[in-house]
Amino acid sequence: MNWSDIYWRNTLFFIGTAIATVVLVPWYIWTQGLTWPLVAMFVIGSAGTCLSITAGYHRFLAHRSFHMRPWVKNLFLLFGAGAFQSSAIWWASEHRRHHRFVDTEQDPHNIREGFMHAHIGWMMNKSGPTSRMEFAPDLMADKWIMLQHNYYVPLAIFMGFIVPLGIGFAIGSPMGGLIFGGVARVFFTNHVTFFINSLAHTLGTRPYSDKQTARDSWVMAFLAFGEGYHNYHHVFAADYRNGIRWYQWDPTKWLILSMSWVGMTYRLRRTPPAEILRARLQNEQIRLVHYGMSPETVAALKHRVEEAQARWRQLKEDYRTVKKDVQTRSLDRLARMKADMKVAKLEFHLAWKQWSVYRRALASSPRLAPSYS
Ligand SMILES: [Zn+2]
Ligand SMILES: [Zn+2]
């Protein structure tokens, strides 16, 4: 390691917030006790800044996966600064670079260079790319984004430390406010985000693509406000969702969706289900052939699943169209269509189950599984 390569501002900040959290939190609880308002400051502050990063910096600015009213965007820029993860334009540009060059030397936090490099090391090293903005020319045209960039440091200090200190004053504990709403919250939210670059490229499954290291993990999703479905995200980065099933923990998706109900966000982009299924089947097709199944059998099975899904979706769409047309619809026709739809759904589920039986049986084989673990 070369000492002159160390980016001291970041390094001292990361070490400083870590030591301050580890020392000050127990000291404060030991001497002053812990009160509910301080817990609330930590929880609400963490949720607010984390969601500003996940929904604002990440899914909106880096990926443009939905639209947002300008005043809502400015709120995200304001609270995002308080997360101490650099300006939005730098964050979004580096993240786009990560997506484009994932797992290569040009990936700013390439996991192949080690866990610690991907987690935090890349930000403590000056020898990275010279321009941190080259992947975000569209964002440079936005005066508010540039304003946040130009005044990032005072804005971050104000939102990250001065505001919690002020709230602390209001509730009778300025030091408590600074520790729980400021230092400890910054330390926590920073590492939650950093884990996406390190752990989400190390632990979990790869349902949609084995070609890169990003992984899906519900544990990471729980920790990082839905960002843990990282394999899906790397394949379908333009989708505003990371957890696509209703039961998958993705508070960022729920926030964006609920904001659309009141017009704060709009034109939310979703990947069509047929495309998602195709990616998954293609990925698993390679595995099944690798596990020893005949390529012809796998191709026929895959075709059956895709056909069944397409038929079911088409019937659903036809049903909706007929139901809307009050002039021509009849109860008989609707009942018949509904029955066809149910049969098509069953056929799809059956085909998918058959596919899954082979996938699970072969994936659990101890001889074969490790190459894809
Ligand atoms: Zn990634
Ligand atoms: Zn991304």
Both 261 and 363 in a single domain? no
| Residues 235, 88 share a domain | yes
Quick: pLDDT tens for 14-30. 999 999 999 999 999 99
Shared-domain flag, residues 300 and 208:
no
Cα 233 to Cα 247: distance, rounded to the nearest angstrom: 17
* Distance from Cα 201 to the centre of ligand 2, integer Å: 12
Q: Which of 266, 294, 309 is the last residue of a domain?
A: 266
Higher pLDDT, 64 or 332: 64
Q: Are residues 175 and 289 in the same domain?
A: no
- 70 CA → ligand 2 middle, Å: 21
Q: What span, in angstroms and rounded, lies between the C-alpha atoms of 254 and 227?
A: 12
pLDDT at 80 over 60: yes
* pLDDT tens per residue across span 315-329: 999 999 888 887 777
**Same domain, yes or no, for 89 and 219?**
yes
**Cβ(263)–Cβ(256) below 8 Å:** no
Contact of 280 with 207, CB cutoff 8 Å: yes
Same domain as 182, residue 63: yes
Residues 304 and 233 in one domain: no
Ligand index nearest the alpha carbon of residue 201: 1
218 and 312 fall within a common domain: no
190 and 328 housed in the same domain:
no
Structural domains counted in the chain: 2
Ligand sitting nearest the alpha carbon of 200: 1
Checking if the pLDDT of 368 tops 50, the result is no
214 and 359, same structural domain? Answer: no
Ligand 2 centroid, distance to 230 Cα (angstroms)? 8
Q: Read out DSSP for 5-27?
A: GB-HHHHHHHHHHHHHHHHHHHH
* The pLDDT of residue 1: 63
In the chain, DSSP finds a helix count (H) and a strand count (E) of 17, 2
Residue pLDDT, tens place only, 258-303: 999 999 999 999 999 999 999 999 999 988 888 888 899 999 999 9
Taking the CA of residue 308 as centre, how many other CA atoms within 13 Å lie in the half-sphere pointing to its CB?
Answer: 21
Rounded to an integer, the average pLDDT of 85-90 is 94
Domain shared by 209 and 289, yes or no:
no
Q: Are residues 330 and 248 in the same domain?
A: no
- Given a contact cutoff of 8 angstroms between Cβ atoms, the answer to whether 91 and 148 are in contact is no
Q: Range of 243's domain?
A: 3-266
Residues 116-131 have pLDDT tens digits of 999 999 999 876 655 6
- Of 206, 241, 266, the domain-final residue: 266
pLDDT in tens, 297-308: 999 999 999 999
Q: What distance in angstroms lies between residue 229's CA and the mean position of ligand 2's atoms?
A: 11
Q: Domain boundary at 215, 249, 266, which? A: 266
Give just the sign of the alpha carbon dihedral 41, 34, 85, 270: negative
3-state secondary structure of 83: coil
Shortest CA distance to 78 belongs to which of 90, 65, 87, 69?
87
